Amino acid sequence: MSQIETFYDVMRRQGITRRSFMKYCSLTAAALGLSPAMVPKIAEAMETKPRTPVIWVHGLECTCCSESFIRSAHPLAKDVVLSMISLDYDDTLMAAAGHAAEAAFEDTIQKYKGNYILAVEGNPPLNEDGMFCITGGKPFVEKLRHAAKDAKAVISWGACASYGCVQAAKPNPTQATPVHKVITDKPIIKVPGCPPIAEVMTGVITYMLTFDRLPELDRQGRPAMFYGQRIHDKCYRRPHFDAGQFVEQWDDENARKGYCLYKMGCKGPTTYNACSTIRWNEGTSFPIQSGHGCIGCSEDGFWDQGSFYDRVTDLTQFGVEANADKVGMAAAGVVGAGVAAHAAITALKAAQKKTQSSKEEA
C-alpha cells in the first residue's frame, strides 16, 4: 500500500493549528459520547494512522443523504471530506465524470484492496436483473457487489440502503432491496434516516477512522451512540405527554402552546434516532420543534406503517381503511350481538320447555 498522509498531516498542511486540532479531538470525543480520557487516543490515532480511503456509491435514491452530509456543522464536512477521509470515489461529489470517474473507481478498489470503506447511499433494485438502476452502463447491483467484494466494511447511508425506504414500499415494483440483503459477507453498519442527521454521519466516520473498528451496534446494526434512544425519550415536549396535554388539531390553541403531538400521529415513541438531541441544521431545530410530529423515517418500512397522522394507524391488510380499534370494536360488536341473540334464544327455549313440561304435568 502506498504511503498516505495522516489526518494530522493534512490538517496541518491546511493551516490548522495544533491547538485547534486538539479542540477538534475533544469535541469529537464529546460528540461520540466518549470520556475525556479518550481525547489523547483520538489525537494519537489521527497523528499516526494513514487516512482510510472511502468509496461512496449511489444506487436508487434521492441524494438527500449527500445533501445532509455536506451540511454537517461539526465536524465540518469539509474536514471529513478533505482531511479525515480520503474520499477517493463519489460520483456525486467528485470532479471527474464518465470514463475518468469509472477509472478512479477501479483504481481505488485495486490500490486499497481490503482496506477501504464502502459507503452506500440508496439501494439496488433487483427486478429485471437490476435494470431499474444503471450507473456507468451497468446495473447498480453489479457495481455494489464488485465494490463490496474487497471492502473492509460497508456503511449503509440512510433509510434506502438500510431498509429500502420509499422505493421499497409496497408493492415495490423494482424490488428495491436494502444493502444487507445483497451483501451478506461484510460487516455492515446502518445509519438510517431520510436523510440521516449530518453530525451522525460524520460522527460515525470519525469513530471508524479513529478506532479502526465499527462503533457499538444495536440489535439492528445501527450505531448505539446515536440510535440508542427514541426521539420520545429526549423530546422537549415530553412533559406535555406525561401531563396528558396534546395537540388535538393542527390549528388549535394547544398547537400554538407547543403541546405533545402524540394524538397527531407523532412516531417519536417508536423511532430510534438522535433528532431530539443533536437536531438539524447546526442544531437549529427538528420536526417536532417546528410543530410537526415525527414520521419515523429512520425505522424499518416506515412508508408501510399507515398514515403519518394517526396514532393507531390503518391496517392495510384489511383492504379497506381500518385501524386496530375499528377492527377490534367490529369484532367485539359482532360477538356481543351474537351473545345477546344467543341469550335471547336460550331464554325462549327455556320458557318453551317450561310451558311444555307444565302442560305434560297438567
Partner 1 sequence: MTDTPHLEGAHADPEDLASASRQTSVYVYEVPVRIWHWVNALAIVVLCLSGYFIGSPPPSMQIAEATHQFVFGYIRFAHFAAGWILAIGFLGRIYWAIFGNHHARQLFYFPFWNGAYWKEVIHEVKWYLFLTREPKKYVGHNPLAQLAMFFFITLGVSFMIVTGLALYAEGLGTDSGLYALFGWVFTLFGHNPHIVHTLHHLGMWWIVIFMIVHIYVAIREDIMSRQSIVSTMISGHRTFKDDRPQ
Q: Which residues bind partner 1 (CB under 8 A)?
A: 163, 218-220, 224, 228-230, 233, 239-246, 248, 254, 259, 262-263, 267, 269-270, 272, 296, 299-302, 305, 311-313, 315, 324-325, 327-329, 331-332, 335-336, 339, 342-343, 345-346, 349-350
The alpha carbons of the chain give a radius of gyration, in whole angstroms, of: 28
Q: Which of 78, 77, 115, 84 is nearest to 8 (CA)?
A: 84
Q: Is 160 annotated as a binding residue?
A: yes
Cβ closest to partner 1, residue 134 vs residue 341: 341
Q: Is 266 annotated as a binding residue?
A: yes
**Residue 100 beta carbon to partner 1: minimum distance, rounded to whole angstroms:** 40
Handedness of CA 114, 198, 214, 60 (dihedral sign): negative
**Residue 6 beta carbon to partner 1: minimum distance, rounded to whole angstroms:** 34
Cβ closest to partner 1, residue 213 vs residue 349: 349
Cβ closest to partner 1, residue 138 vs residue 256: 256
Q: Is 25 annotated as a binding residue?
A: no
User: Would you say 141 and 182 are in contact if contact means Cβ atoms under 8 Å apart?
Assistant: yes
**Residue 288 beta carbon to partner 1: minimum distance, rounded to whole angstroms:** 15
A 10 A CB-CB count for 171 gives 5
Quote the CA–CA distance of 47 and 49 in Å, as a whole number.
Answer: 6
Q: Which residues pair with 281 in a beta bridge?
A: none
Q: Is 64 annotated as a binding residue?
A: no
Amino acid residing at 193:
G
Q: Which of 263, 290, 265 is nearest to 276 (CA)?
A: 290
Cβ closest to partner 1, residue 92 vs residue 254: 254
Cβ closest to partner 1, residue 86 vs residue 123: 123
Kind of pairing between the strands at 52-58 and 117-121: parallel
Cβ closest to partner 1, residue 112 vs residue 241: 241
Cell 469529537 appears where?
28
Q: Is 232 annotated as a binding residue?
A: yes
**Residue 343 beta carbon to partner 1: minimum distance, rounded to whole angstroms:** 7
**Residue 223 beta carbon to partner 1: minimum distance, rounded to whole angstroms:** 12
Quote the CA–CA distance of 86 and 54 in Å, as a whole number.
Answer: 6
User: Would you say 221 and 190 are in contact if contact means Cβ atoms under 8 Å apart?
Assistant: yes
**Residue 61 beta carbon to partner 1: minimum distance, rounded to whole angstroms:** 20
CA 272 vs. chain centroid, Å, equals 8
Amino acid residing at 30:
A
Question: Cell digits for 175?
Answer: 424490488
Which residues belong to the annotated binding site?
Answer: 62, 65, 160, 194, 232, 235, 260, 266, 275, 294, 297
Which residues belong to the annotated binding site for [3Fe-4S] cluster?
Answer: 275, 294, 297
Which residues belong to the annotated binding site for [4Fe-4S] cluster?
Answer: 62, 65, 160, 194, 232, 235, 260, 266
